[in-house]
Amino acid sequence: MATEHNLAGALRKARKARGLSQEDFSDVSSRTYLSSLERGLKNPTLDKLAELCEVMQVHPVTLLTLAYAGNARQADHVLAQVRRELETILSKVDL
């Protein structure tokens, strides 16, 4: 998997693509905190990431894929890798 990621840029890109302002997240985050996330100064917890994604109406995996891939072509590679890894993990676990 790629070692570099840009969660800050992915968050900003997804927010803008949804036509949302930083103030639109006021139910789950302060504008100052969201600004810090988008500038890469802070990293959200998984719970906070889920809340932010809920506001944007995107799955957290979508945002993480965007952070690791950056574009649609690379996203195909990332998602294919995730599928292979999930299949391997789940095939070795008693469910």
In a domain, 47, yes or no: yes
Half-sphere exposure of 70 (CA within 13 A, CB side): 6
What does pTM read for this prediction? 0.84
For 27-57, write each residue's pLDDT tens digit.
999 999 999 999 999 999 999 999 999 999 9
Q: How confident is the model at residue 82 (pLDDT cuts 50, 70, 90)?
A: very high
Domain tally, the chain = 1
For 70-79, write each residue's pLDDT tens digit.
888 899 999 9
For 56-72, write each residue's pLDDT tens digit.
999 999 999 999 998 88
Does residue 95 carry a pLDDT above 90? no
Closest CA to 38 of 8, 17, 13: 8
* CATH code, 51: 1.10.260.40
Q: What's the domain range around 28?
A: 7-91
DSSP 42-77: ----HHHHHHHHHHHT--HHHHHHHHHH-SHHHHHH
